[in-house]
Amino acid sequence: MAKNFITGNQELVGVRIPKHPVALQLLLEFEKLGGHGVVAPSANMFGSVSPTCAHDVLDDLGERLRKEDIILDGGECEIGIESTILLCTDENVKILRYGNVTKTQIEKLVDVEIVDQNADSTVRVSGNLEKHYSPSAKIILDQKPSQGDGLIALSHVLTPEGVIRLAAPKDIIEFGHTLYKAMRLGDKKKLSRIIIISPQIDEISQPMLDRIKKAAAD
């Protein structure tokens, strides 16, 4: 039963070591009490836009929390999108989900072949469904926005009259940092459509494009 709870009825388990000092301190304090790691799901409803701050978690899960539940607030997420997930069960390392750590960066650290995602479709992993990370508003890619639409695009893209600008990041790093926040803002404004102008395709933008395409899937 414990194994199924941890692995989701799979033979593998994903392990993550956080960078954030608040999360690290939590694990250290838990270890002092005899703990050996924390098993927990993401703090958002399945398939919806991931939270990037404590208030997002309260918005998503507030009605489901008990009086004794606590939301630990470590401030806004530094990166803004989910982490890279690797499968390391044989001689090749497979990327199952793209994140801030790129394939090139991984190859500099390990002397093995890196295989792109979908190389092992039998492994279930967070975020690998065709539709995921989706707000209530309909996400539309690379189209001209109409009056009343929300717009997420790099800052050099002009905002047409009557369009609600949700984010104007100056570069691809800021694009990833503000993407989910902008989607949530569109829902708070009760917009029916959000137009996203995709950034230039390269290794750094790959995880953002992956999230955008999944959010736009029907």
| Residues counted in the chain | 218
Measured CA to CA in angstroms, residue 126 lies from 7, 39, 141 at distances of 12, 14, 23
Asked if the model's pLDDT at residue 149 lies above 70, the reply is: yes
Measured CA to CA, the distance from residue 213 to residue 191 in angstroms comes to 19
Please list the residue range(s) of the chain that carry CATH number 3.40.50.11030. Answer: 138-216
Asked if the model's pLDDT at residue 144 lies above 60, the reply is: yes
Domain 138-216, classified CATH 3.40.50.11030, yes or no: yes
Measured CA to CA, the distance from residue 127 to residue 46 in angstroms comes to 9
For a pLDDT cut of 70, what percent of the chain falls above it? 93
**139: helix, coil or strand?**
strand
pLDDT digits (tens, 9 = 90+) for 72-93: 999 999 999 998 988 888 777 8
Question: What pLDDT sits at residue 58?
Answer: 93
- Cβ pair 28, 20 in contact under 8 A: no
Q: E strands of the chain, at which residues?
A: 85-87, 93-97, 114-115, 138-141, 150-152, 164-167, 193-196
pLDDT digits (tens, 9 = 90+) for 103-134: 888 888 888 888 876 555 667 777 666 677 78
